[in-house]
Structure 1
Amino acid sequence: MECCDRIHEYIERFEAAIFTVNRRLNNIIRDSIQEELTLDQFLTLRYIHKHGSCTASELSETFCVNRSATTAITTRLADKQYITRTPDERDRRMISLRLSEKGKQVYETAASRIHERLEGIIRQLPQTEIEQFLDTSERLLRIITQGGGNER
Structure 2
Amino acid sequence: METLQLKPLIARYMTASFNVNRIMSARLGKLMPENLTADQHQTLCYIHERGMCTSSELADTFFVGKSSITAIVKRLVEKDLIERIPDERDRRVTYLALTPSGKQLMLDVQLKIEQLLARYIGHFQETEILAFIETFEKLARLLISEEEEVTENS
Question: What TM-score, normalized to structure 1?
Answer: 0.88
Instruction: Tell me the secondary structure at the aligned position of residue 91 of structure 2.
Output: coil
Q: CA deviation at 1:8?
A: 1.5
* 2:43 paired residue number: 44
Residue identity in the other structure for 1:8: K
Note the residue ranges of structure 2 that are not aligned, 5 or more in a row. Answer: 148-154
The CA deviation at 1:45 is 1.0
- Is 1:35 aligned to 2:17, yes or no? no
CA contact (8 A) 1:48 1:98 kept: yes
2:133 matched residue in structure 1: 134
SS in structure 1 at match of 2:145: helix
CA contact under 8 A between 1:32 and 1:113: conserved in structure 2?
yes
Q: Which one-letter code corresponds to 1:120 in the other structure?
A: R
**Does residue 54 in structure 1 map to residue 53 in structure 2?**
yes
Q: Give the residue type in structure 2 aligned to 1:76.
A: R
Please, which runs of 5 or more residues in structure 1 have no aligned partner? Answer: none
> Where does residue 79 of structure 1 map in the other structure?
78
Equivalent runs, 1:1-152 vs 2, <5 Å: 1=1, 3-147=2-146
Corresponding residue SS for 1:96: strand
CA–CA separation in structure 1 for the residues paired with 2:126 and 2:132:
10
Cα deviation, residue 147, structure 1: 2.3
CA apart distance, 1:97? 0.3
Post-superposition shift, 1:90? 2.3
Q: Provide the C-alpha distance between the structure 2 equivalents of 1:9 and 1:66, rounded to a whole number of angstroms.
A: 36
- Which segments of structure 1 move beyond 4 Å, counting only runs of 4 or more? none
Aligned length: 147
Identical residues among aligned pairs (%): 40
Which one-letter code corresponds to 2:25 in the other structure?
N
Structure 1 position 32, deviation (Å) = 0.7
Q: Deviations over 1:38-74 (max 9, x none)?
A: 1111111111111111111111222222222211111
Instruction: Give, in whole Å, the separation in 2 of the partners of 1:75 and 1:128.
Output: 44
Cα deviation digits, residues 65-121 of structure 1 (max 9, x gap) = 222221111111001111000111222111100011111122211221121111111
The worse-fitting range, judged by mean Cα deviation, of 114-123 and 139-148 is 139-148
